[in-house]
Structure 1
């Protein structure tokens, strides 16, 4: 398990949703109807994608609003901004927008974003496609302002979505520049509808209608034609011109002097428009231009005492926003309640440019600080952080990053925090040692271990020169604990128990008592280390404490990890029913579709159902485990799942398939240095070698990996029963799962040795240990010797429902007649004949088979003859060769 996917330090990412980004801008009461474009948009619905591409001010969003007002399909809307370059933020808003039209779909998808590391983007988009495929009605997804996306992974995700989207889905992208998508291929396939600047430009008639109906100007046809020509049908240019014309006594003369490309006209027109506004409105416009979105209270907070008075004796930011909308001053409502607005993008850019020219840097910083304070007071710390960064207020930004209770780093702001830290100088970071630790955390959360230790060492050097003082000393001590917690996380990825324990204890000694997120993750790390060492009591105690804390603070990731740890301990303590309940609780917590981390719950349930002899359920959970584990990069989880499936195949008689799967797992484990998986793989490979009669290879593997029980099995296969017993007796384990396995095998060995007087009591001890957990396969997998021993115990009058249940399973297995699909057998082999055939393949003589299966020598010879007849051979070697050819071995 790597630091990417079992990050004990990471907290669940909870990205707050700004609901106004999901609102469809309402259509305006007075608007130029453009049937030619509406018709083109509607006609393109049979294609996959519509792209509306033009520079600012061409009315892309307005066209969308008007088209959607007459479109008879449900619509999911997302207004994009630079934050969507972060994959987690993009996916969160994408899923949220789709939920606006299908609330029953995708609830569990948000759970993916709480995993320690995001799954590959392809997996997330595949999940999205699977979700929306259940939406029965045709619908439209709109991505507005897509030009802000600069991240390649987002483009790749959208390209994949377009390629695989269900037929009932249609995507619309509005952008200032062509998106980096395979547009040429889509054109060739007739899967793309395009609306570009040349289409969006107003015709002369549309320009006349705009001036007359929307702007309330009565202009001559000549003036309109000239104005349309000078602005090239640019809607924003026409609007700016109309606002300027309103202040002119001679409109025709003004239009005659109006010239140049719109890139140069804009500065002039804005100057004309702004000069016609009152001082208070101008102050409002310039001061609030720093905001991406505006509402009355936020504007009031930003303006403070700067505003001398509102127009029409208004006294609030809300009223001036409504005034600006009525005056067509390039403000766009974001909700039907007219609570939130934004400036037209180009207008906002120009206002910000003018603001920089009109006030000093300190005054601009003050505006951003006021915005930051308002956002923080209203629980929007990420926005507060952005404004603090823009104001270059390092102290405030650092405080916001550290957060109240949960660091900002773990609330959906990994990318912005990392970018800010990248921008700081070494001196600025050294002055705040805690930022070095947060810097290291940002690397870990990005799945990056390189450079983490370097950042931690920088933090330690900075702490040596840190200023003194009671408050600062407490913060520095917490930073020391934070550094240790991060080092413990790095050690978890390497399964270094001693290092985990040392660093975790150091972390807990220094971390502030109120720093629950990091303390809780550190306690889980301790539990993991104790578990590695085999101290299950200490591990269980740590997991329980971590679980209690994580539930209290809503730390979903640690809740799942601690529950999984407890479930695994319950399995090892032979408490299978309790463990099954724990794993089921994890699946419920993980959602639907589940967090990828829940793959371990499926593996735990697969092993439990296998032991309960529900092989169908075991295989179902095993396959689900492998499927989900593949969502992680650089992980050993897939190997663990495939090893289980190999065990299942071996039980089903698919020896060659199990061997191939184990060879693949062994190669991957060696290639990626997953040393903790090697003994597990080797243990099962020993069983495969024994099935194939390769005793030398089985003995080598068992001894090389120090597998006591496997070594005993090899001795038994060689007929060295006394050596097997001696080994089992000398290395008795107090661990409950190991003790049960060794006790069962010891009973079998004693029975082989003929010491039935000792075998029966040992078997009864094993049954007493196993019955509460409902163990079945632990006994049944021992085959005929265990069956015979159970029968003898039952014949002695020692019967119970549990023994009867085991005997019934044995009876059902013996009755299974084995024949491969498409084989040329005259008659299929019986279960007993297959058992004899496997021992022949192992090289056992008739006498050894007689002893192993407790059969008379004549009975064994009779089975041999039946096997030869059915396989149509005359010799043992021929029988083995033919059986392998037919897939029986």
Structure 2
């Protein structure tokens, strides 16, 4: 469900027909556009005319302008970004619906703010015309996340974009850096002050007062050119018998002046208008029917019985009583912020005492909440209920009739309210503890979740009140989600089943989340059939109710199952479906889909695509808190570097991943890290350490690899053969792991001299791998596998297995891949080559092997530099290192030595 966009916040205030023109300030704003500066700030005190100046400037501006009037509720990042995108859409920027939907997803992960902004900027870059974005009243946000987001936006803005910020204080942005780069235009309080001439024009032509030049200069001096003060003074002067005397006695600070002048203005209003102003001052936006509903007495009457709300609003506008229209139809308005502040202070003093005034204010907020609820403004209804201190009503509105407000992008307003409640209120309503835990989970504050759940359990009622079972189910569902991040199958299973047992059949959002966590538990256990059924059910229901986050996660689970079953083509389609559901920009949870596509592209030998998806996965994983996804991405990139021969870089990445996993207690990642480290150690010829590491982590396949590398295939076979038998006996064995074991077993048999059995195992492996299009699985094994496949291709087992044309074509494709993958596979040495290479002082890197092969082909240093796109000096540097490592003094000696070691 989406947050309702109030279109009046995007309305550009129309220039006043009788406003004082300010050409010197308009020219300064235009200068910022001419010089292609990134940012204009109009930073001045309240009532200085910031909005009026902007409306004048925009009226003559040839470029499209996106306007956003901000209010304190917009400090919620998802709400702010939703309005920002809506403002840009209003001037024709192409914002995809999937991009907007990301803001309203009930995700347990932090909002991908930078990804959203980058996607938005990509759409703006596609527009040929310039774009101006205006943020009015920015000071009301006071939000560090939004400050950081705008700083990022400004840093990456395309040349055709310009931003304007109007604020009562300097925004917390890198203004000094922008100023130093001449990328900032500034308009401040002294610039906005009316001069004596402008004051005289304002008083005479706008406010209709006939003042002498001396009086106009005096009032300009007393107000220091403060426009709101001048307007208030002019309203007080209208009808005053001694205007000159009033001006001479006028003095005081802005705040005191404001209080005094508003008092003067209010005293001149009819009682009915005064009552209207005071009672509607609690509203951030006003329309006729809302005002009438708030003013209505309990007996159905109204203090404004003779005048409608709409007529009163129009009267206030005509009377210049600090009211601002928010649309062209004059249906929605707001009060000047200072005016409404003063009205609210006066309203709080109504009644016989402070308690009486408090009751009046709360009653008005309660009626405002009721009106907003009736008109489907859920967040506004909730906020007025909070202001009314009506905990029961606020709690009900927070629940949102099956789809809580936190699932609709209003996480922080709910969190702020829950944080403000006394413990006694929470103890009396354990459902609030549960919602608090859910909200904390969604913003990534994992540490506080369990404490809230335990508090809820302590205060559950002794008897079921009709909601207790659903509450117990929700608690279990949250615990299951916590356990997912820790990969704890037994805990996930227990809590998911408990959740589904207790949850109401009608509580579909939480039930689908529990179905997804249940599927993940089955997947961790290896029961892929049960996992698939749970994922399919969760995906179907969540898509039907619009719970796209669970639809995405369940679909992701299906892709992981397909990948484990060696169905790489089907898995790739499913992962792309996950990215479609995720939208643009995707939430952090979509990192797993990119990581899956990276693994598949790597297996298909499309290394560029693998790296692209891997980088996207890493960027998204970095937005997670307390999950191991970033570690998993680091391991993938380390293996990619190892594949390219960058052994030392791979080792460094794996060491970093190991440290992070141990610090964060991501123990489930340690075996994957160790498996990759064993491969690195084998590349470095460090067999003893590789063997110790494999034994320490119980990596039987890695142990067999170490023995093969040492040339002891006889010792490797007793490890691999039972391992394969165990996998074949398991009903839900991981097909991908089984395929890897078959490949290593074929290599061991071939090295042991059992050519026929090796060919048969190789034939089965090729047949098993063909539907998924595996390539790297074979060519990563280097020359031994190439020789095995060549020999097996001529043998009866392979010819029998390759009886179909697709199988025959696949085998040819594999053998061809070995030929074109020379530089990448050249350092995947056979055991005998590794033993010979031990005589080297230091192994050759992948790049050095590449240069050595080109030397052997007879290419000159310049030809090598051109072929590899590197500097000539770089090639010469490689030559010196190669000669040193091979203990040679010239090219011919180096090539001969390399052939002797089996490197060529």
User: Which category of TM-score, normalised to the shorter sequence, fits these structures?
Assistant: 0.7 to 0.9
- Describe the shift of the 1:244–1:872 C-alpha distance in structure 2 as closer, same or farther (beyond 3 A): closer
1:620 corresponds to: 612
What pairs with 1:529-548 in structure 2 (closer than 5 Å)?
529-548=521-540
Deviation at 1:64, TM superposition (A): 0.9
Is residue 2:812 matched to residue 1:804?
Answer: no
Match of 1:44 among 32, 48, 67: 32
2:405 pairs with 1:413 = no
Q: Is the 8 A contact 1:570 1:579 kept in 2?
A: yes
Q: Is the 8 A contact 1:481 1:510 kept in 2?
A: yes
CA separation of 1:646/1:282 partners in 2, compared to 1, >3 Å: closer, same or farther?
A: same
Normalising to structure 2: TM-score of the pair? 0.85
Q: Does 2:832 align with 1:839?
A: yes
1:387-402 paired onto structure 2 within 5 Å: 387-402=384-399
Cα shift readout 1:575-625 (whole Å, capped 9, x = no counterpart): 222111101111222223333322221221222233333334333323332
The whole-number CA distance in structure 2 between the counterparts of 1:474 and 1:26 is 54
CA gap of 1:431–1:870, structure 2 versus 1, over 3 A, is closer
TM superposition shift of 1:435: 0.8
Q: 69, 87, 98: which is aligned to 2:77?
A: 87
Report the counterpart of residue 64 of structure 1 in structure 2. Answer: 54
Contact 2:117 2:153 in 1 (8 A): yes
Which of 787, 792, 796 aligns to 2:790? It is 787
Deviates more, 1:333-342 or 1:714-723: 714-723
Gap regions ≥5 residues in structure 2:
840-855, 857-881
Determine the structure 1 residue equivalent to 2:863: none
> 1-side partners of 2:446 and 2:520: how far apart?
20
**Given the alignment of the two structures, is residue 245 of structure 1 paired with residue 242 of structure 2, yes or no?**
no
Q: Which residue of 1 is the match for residue 864 of structure 2?
A: none
Aligned match of 2:91: 101
Equivalent residue for 2:588, pick from 596, 600, 604: 596
Whether 2:257 is the aligned partner of 1:265: answer yes
Do residues 770 (structure 1) and 731 (structure 2) align? no
SS of equivalent to 1:84 = helix
Match runs of 1:287-302 below 5 Å: 287-302=279-294
For 1:441, which of 438, 442, 465 is the aligned residue?
438
1:792 is displaced (CA, Å) by: 1.9
How many pairs were matched up?
837
Point out where structure 1 has 5 or more consecutive residues left out of the alignment: 1-12, 821-830, 847-862
Normalization by structure 1: what TM-score? Answer: 0.86
Residue of structure 2 in register with 1:18 after alignment: 6
- Contact 1:790–1:803 (CA under 8 A) maintained in structure 2: no
Mark the CA change 1:692 to 1:68 in structure 2 (over 3 Å): closer, same or farther. same
Contact preservation (8 Å) 1:112, 1:118: no
Q: Distance in 2 between matches of 1:481 and 1:515?
A: 10
Taking the aligned partners of 1:387 and 1:209, their CA distance within structure 2 comes to 42
Q: Tell me, yes or no, if structure 1 residue 54 matches structure 2 residue 44.
A: yes
Higher normalized contact order (CA 8 Å, seq sep 6+, divided by chain length): 1
Distance 1:650 1:260, change over 3 A: closer
Write the distance in 1 (CA, Å) between the matches of 2:252 and 2:838: 102
Query: Shift of the alpha carbon at 1:523?
Result: 1.6
1:640-683: CA deviation from partner (whole Å, max 9, x where unpaired): 23323333344444444444433333333233332222222222
Matched-pair contact (CA < 8 Å) for 1:112–1:596: no
Aligned equivalents of 2:53 and 2:593: distance in 1? 50
Cα deviation for residue 393 of structure 1 reads: 0.5
Q: Compared with structure 1, are the counterparts of its residues 719 and 371 closer, same or farther at alpha carbon in structure 2 (3 Å cutoff)? A: same
Query: Greater shift after overlay, 702-711 or 434-443?
Result: 702-711
**Is structure 2 residue 361 aligned with structure 1 residue 373?**
no
Report how far residue 135 of structure 1 moved: 4.1
CA-CA distance at 1:258 after TM superposition: 4.1
1:494-533 matches, within 5 Å, as 494-533=486-525
What is the CA–CA distance in structure 1 between the aligned matches of 2:17 and 2:269, rounded to whole Å? 24
Q: Distance in 2 between matches of 1:663 and 1:184?
A: 40
Q: Verify the 8 A CA contact 1:779 1:786 in the aligned structure 2.
A: no
Separation in 2 of the partners of 1:124 and 1:817?
Answer: 39
Q: Deviations over 1:130-185 (max 9, x none)?
A: 55444443332222112213233333333444444333333222122233344455
| Shift of residue 289, structure 1, vs aligned partner | 0.5
Partner-residue secondary structure (3-state), 1:358: coil
Shift of 1:238: 2.4
